[in-house]
Structure 1
């Protein structure tokens, strides 16, 4: 919070006091907590991991919302928490408008939240979720997630490499943006939002503000880098092994975004009478932005026609690779479900055939398959119930449908006139904002991490 305060002080903005007071208050409370709670941390168990992870993100949401509540932006309590939770979960949905005239401190604060949230979810995804054995993440368990005596030193070294890689990609992204014509401030803010696949921009028009095709393609590259498994970057940096392309989910992800980008480019060129190069630039940028759950927009794709509507609606569910900064259902889950579907068809023809599920060259264990199926059940159960709740609150069907979808998958913009790429979530009421904030947390923490806290068995001694 000190960093935005210094930016405001340099700009001569009176809002520096907002961040200064927030920083002082958080520091004092945190210091009291450190002094008062010196007992040893409880022995790590899956139950403690669920509680710790969920509470960490909830508290972070309230703490990071303090500057919004104290600001002169006239944000409600629900609106401030929504903006903060959208930031740290790298969702990118916003209730703010007139960003171009806003003090730079708040624009920087939003970008910082997404950047910190991005590295936070990578760390949790790589090191905590495999222990908790939820959501199928254990299929990616490697030597860095064992419980041997050497686990801690290895964990420290991998974490150090992970943070360095994340910082390196972010700096490279900022340099690329600045070299292509962005201002220094815009380059830093958009680099943090791009690598974290967050989507907060410093302009109301998002990337449509930068009328340069090269900037859009640079964003495509760095959004893809943020959507790939960071454990593969660690392999490359620490062991010198280039294993990214061997991963099935990476190949599926790259082939999928290439296919949809080309198909939508032809559609766009035919229906809007623009050159194919321009159509390919627009389609590739927006497809990658939605699939990686970044949420940037270079154009209002809601007006591209019914086929584009359908395509983007489907793409919103997918997400990137596991161990990345992206949200969504994730590519590897679709691969496992497809393998199970193919095995079911084989069983119909050859009832006695033995066909194990495979993920590349790995056998998929039964508990991994079970966790993926349970995740899909929980996802669509929460999805359906939230649509009903938003409809009950008075929202139209498109807003309820895509608002639920974009919050649960951490994408950002929805579809329709209200929350589409050209709108925001400001017209929604307090109940809807709190509900969608909770939904963003659910999606970010793989749903089961949070839902387990609402079951009696979790609290039973």
Structure 2
């Protein structure tokens, strides 16, 4: 088992080493000397990955469920560790905790940052942060669509038949589905970058923000995030593509193939869009009732920041942490909802909420008519008891993990709002928290190193859907 896992991790490290040469070229072209740091980091990463490939190569690489769990967790840990090397050795002189925090935040598409001075930072480092998010976004799409359904994580087995339908109608093999998904992801990123250039961004900023947007990551090249631009067209473009990144990537293939029928089959999409529209209107009217802002200004700020929070992107056009307790409560709820399964968005995800509410409705109906055979349905699929149990267990693990890590974070000195919102955004991979310490008007640089390590754990747990990590601590996993 370990030979196969270490061999594949070696391959991933070699791919990571190759990507480090891209920011090296950016720095070299701009005359910044940090290009040598990226080349050295690439060499060390490639040497380690190559050594693992040679040491653990096997003529037959077969990944079963047990190897899948270990490979999923191990690969994210390895890429996070080696991805932090350029930040450690760069001119920023980051501590180990800060460098790993920034890297994990990038790869998990969280968007929480410890860095300031982004407006004058070396372009290679800015590009590396954005590239980490883009890599993490496409990585979690592939894992969520193909690995998690097979591993039966949190009800994700529901989408095994969805992938089969896609494979029959769009592409005949699993690797072709993966390739199609990556092509769609890249095409949307390219389209976003072009649109941002058209509405006034520089090409460099447009590329970086496009990668962060489709990854629903939220890293910006500016300290003030999107508020730096004060541009309605830029905000509108980002709203559209943030929402696009939070939809299932295979949905676009279904849309091309099946047209309107894709909307009826993919029940997540209308539910997500309805939730988004409702939340935007709710925050808009809250802003109107609690501030002197007019309707259109309130709608503009609400539309951008609500979309950013619900899609778990993490951009901000203003400090929405100052909008009052009503906005805080709604934003915290949106953080726990998240986007669609099979997208780059994190958190609990829309489909689990749908299954939970429908199973709750069936429970009430069975109490009224105990002899009736009532089965909860998701679209045209019957949801069996095992799947409902899987979703409920996921909810329990998610809330329990949030409570435990929030308590540990409060022990480091943070207040309740900062701790609870920081862990919520870390697990949901949503970016800034709430309050004066970790809110959208500041960053995570001021918190202690133990708090940063706890949030790194929370980010990885949230990105890997909890079960993938927790199962590694069972003694039965390591037997036989």
Question: TM-score band, normalised by the shorter chain?
Answer: over 0.9
Question: How far 1:218 moved relative to its partner?
Answer: 0.9
Residues 58-73 of structure 1: matches in 2 within 5 Å? 58-73=77-92
Query: Equivalent of 2:278, from 230, 254, 259?
Result: 259
Alignment of 1:313 with 2:340, yes or no, is: no
Closer/same/farther in 2, CA of residues 362 and 143 from structure 1, 3 Å limit? closer
Question: How far 1:374 moved relative to its partner?
Answer: 0.7
Distance (Å, rounded) in 2 between the aligned partners of 1:368 and 1:458: 22
Q: Could you say which residue in structure 2 is the equivalent of 1:139?
A: 158
Question: How far 1:237 moved relative to its partner?
Answer: 4.4
Distance (Å, rounded) in 1 between the aligned partners of 2:409 and 2:302: 30
Distance (Å, rounded) in 2 between the aligned partners of 1:247 and 1:162: 16
Q: Could you say which residue in structure 2 is the equivalent of 1:403?
A: 422
Q: Could you say which residue in structure 2 is the equivalent of 1:178?
A: 197
Alignment of 1:80 with 2:99, yes or no, is: yes
Check whether the contact 1:8–1:16 (CA below 8 A) recurs between aligned residues: yes
Question: How far 1:251 moved relative to its partner?
Answer: 1.0
Alignment of 1:229 with 2:248, yes or no, is: yes
Question: How far 1:2 moved relative to its partner?
Answer: 1.0
Q: Could you say which residue in structure 2 is the equivalent of 1:204?
A: 223
Alignment of 1:30 with 2:49, yes or no, is: yes
Residues 267-278 of structure 1: matches in 2 within 5 Å? 267-278=286-297
Question: How far 1:238 moved relative to its partner?
Answer: 5.8
Alignment of 1:55 with 2:41, yes or no, is: no
Query: Secondary structure of 2:312's partner?
Result: coil
Check whether the contact 2:239–2:304 (CA below 8 A) recurs between aligned residues: yes
Q: Could you say which residue in structure 2 is the equivalent of 1:130?
A: 149
Q: Could you say which residue in structure 2 is the equivalent of 1:361?
A: 380
| CA displacement 1:176-195 (0-9 Å, x = unmatched) | 00000001111000000001
* Deviation >6 Å, runs of 4+: none
Check whether the contact 1:235–1:241 (CA below 8 A) recurs between aligned residues: no
Q: Could you say which residue in structure 2 is the equivalent of 1:444?
A: 463
Check whether the contact 2:309–2:430 (CA below 8 A) recurs between aligned residues: yes
Stretches of structure 2 that go unaligned for 5 or more consecutive residues are 1-19
Query: Equivalent of 2:234, from 215, 219, 230?
Result: 215
Distance (Å, rounded) in 1 between the aligned partners of 2:57 and 2:351: 41
Question: How far 1:112 moved relative to its partner?
Answer: 0.4
- Count residues with an aligned counterpart: 460
| CA displacement 1:219-240 (0-9 Å, x = unmatched) | 1100111011111112234666
Query: Secondary structure of 1:107's partner?
Result: helix
RMSD, matched Cα: 2.0
Query: Equivalent of 2:390, from 368, 371, 374?
Result: 371
Q: Could you say which residue in structure 1 is the equivalent of 2:111?
A: 92
Distance (Å, rounded) in 2 between the aligned partners of 1:427 and 1:307: 26
Distance (Å, rounded) in 2 between the aligned partners of 1:238 and 1:347: 39
Closer/same/farther in 2, CA of residues 388 and 329 from structure 1, 3 Å limit? same
Greater CA drift, 18-27 or 315-324: 18-27
Distance (Å, rounded) in 2 between the aligned partners of 1:242 and 1:293: 28
Q: Could you say which residue in structure 2 is the equivalent of 1:430?
A: 449
Greater CA drift, 363-372 or 265-274: 265-274
Q: Could you say which residue in structure 1 is the equivalent of 2:35?
A: 16
Check whether the contact 1:91–1:412 (CA below 8 A) recurs between aligned residues: yes
Check whether the contact 1:91–1:410 (CA below 8 A) recurs between aligned residues: yes
Distance (Å, rounded) in 2 between the aligned partners of 1:435 and 1:119: 25
Q: Could you say which residue in structure 1 is the equivalent of 2:409?
A: 390
Distance (Å, rounded) in 2 between the aligned partners of 1:36 and 1:344: 54
Distance (Å, rounded) in 2 between the aligned partners of 1:237 and 1:354: 38
Check whether the contact 1:295–1:413 (CA below 8 A) recurs between aligned residues: yes
Question: How far 1:278 moved relative to its partner?
Answer: 1.8
Distance (Å, rounded) in 2 between the aligned partners of 1:165 and 1:396: 42
Check whether the contact 2:340–2:349 (CA below 8 A) recurs between aligned residues: yes
Question: How far 1:20 moved relative to its partner?
Answer: 1.3
Question: How far 1:31 moved relative to its partner?
Answer: 2.2
* TM-score of the aligned structures, taking structure 2 as reference length: 0.92
Question: How far 1:307 moved relative to its partner?
Answer: 1.0
Question: How far 1:130 moved relative to its partner?
Answer: 1.1
Check whether the contact 2:251–2:266 (CA below 8 A) recurs between aligned residues: no
Check whether the contact 1:197–1:294 (CA below 8 A) recurs between aligned residues: yes
